[in-house]
Chains A and B, each alone.
Chain A
Amino acid sequence: MPKVALFQLCGGKHALPLAGVDRILPLPPVFPLPLLPEPFAGVFIHQGRPIPVLAPDSLGGAAVSQPAAPPAYVIVCTTEFGPVGLPADRMPRIVEQGAGHRVAAEHLGGAIDIFQFQGERYPFWRPETLIA
């Protein structure tokens, strides 16, 4: 049964297919670099490699509020262009996709649909849509 990672970022709730996630770890220091395109905030170093990380406000279309603390975790997703980190306010919750259900949605700025779980609605992202 495929699994889904439910996470919060800047107070907004989101979902990712766990199949597209390489690892989840506490967010290391993020280093800015010159002239980075949106939506990237910089890179962090993991196992001797620089990995780009998205800015906390990169998931447009979701409810965004100012977080009380910076993101504590990073979800490293696999894309055809290499790994990319997506920050998360706290450790994501992992659930079976069958425990909720996906419905089509519009105007979510890139999310393909909604994952409904226990009465909550999570924009459901694919890793490649994060950088589109």
Chain B
Amino acid sequence: MPRDSLLAVFQTRRLAVFALPRDAYVTASSPKVLIFRLGGIGFAIPIDLVEEVCAEGEVCAGREGRELAYRGVRIPRLDFGGQLGLPAGGIGAEGAWLILRGTEAPAALQVERIEGVFSQALLEYHPVPAILTLAGPLPYRQLALWREQPLVLCDVAALGEGL
């Protein structure tokens, strides 16, 4: 699947299309971000895109692992880590589920650990260094520096492309 469209990554014939609202982006009107870890890498996502945070036992994985039972409804499970080439198997006792708000339906993302919710004023945003994109675009455009470490900013604009 093309790397330049995370929406294509999330689309399957069996699951509802999951698309994030186009206007949901980290701006001055989105004052907080949720920081989580997956594959050992830190990510930041606007808190407005997170409908709920669930503990491991609060959602039920489907038989094939592609869907979850959430409040009596089956919602798609995003293989975010797999499509980003992150090492699998890191979900432990600190694992949690993010129920992400979509335009059509919510979707679930399993994470290794949630660092917390922070004001975006604590983050410094930088574009992904151009030298890293010489071979082709990456499916994320910005990094956020937090406590002297980089976080991958979940790229809402990239997710919205391809609709």
A residues adjacent to B (C-beta < 8 A): 29, 31-37, 40, 43, 45, 48-52, 79, 81-82, 84, 131
Contact = CB atoms under 8 A, between A and B. Distances in A.
Given A45-B148, A45-B150, A50-B126, A33 B41 contact: yes
Interface stretch (B13-21, B26-34, B50-58, B139-147): B139-147
B124 interface: yes
Name, among B124, B131, B134, B143, the residue most crowded by chain A CB atoms within 10 Å (CB to CB): B131
A37 B85 CA distance: 12
A50 B124 CA distance: 11
B39 A34 contact: yes
Nearest to B139: A35
Given A37-B136, A48-B124, A50-B143, A31 B131 contact: no
Given A35-B85, A35-B139, A51 B3 contact: no
B80 to A, nearest CB: 10
A34 B132 contact: no
State the main secondary structure of chain B at its contact with A. loop
Q: How large is the interface on B (under 10, 10 to 19, 20 to 34, 35 or more residues)?
A: 20 to 34
Nearest to B127: A50
B86 A34 contact: yes
A79 B84 CA distance: 28
A31 B138 CA distance: 16
29 contacts: A29-B149, A31-B41, A31-B149, A32-B40, A33-B41, A33-B143, A33-B150, A33-B152, A34-B39, A34-B41, A34-B84, A34-B85, A34-B138, A34-B139, A34-B140, A35-B139, A36-B132, A37-B134, A45-B149, A48-B145, A50-B129, A50-B143, A50-B150, A52-B129, A52-B131, A52-B132, A79-B131, A81-B130, A131-B134
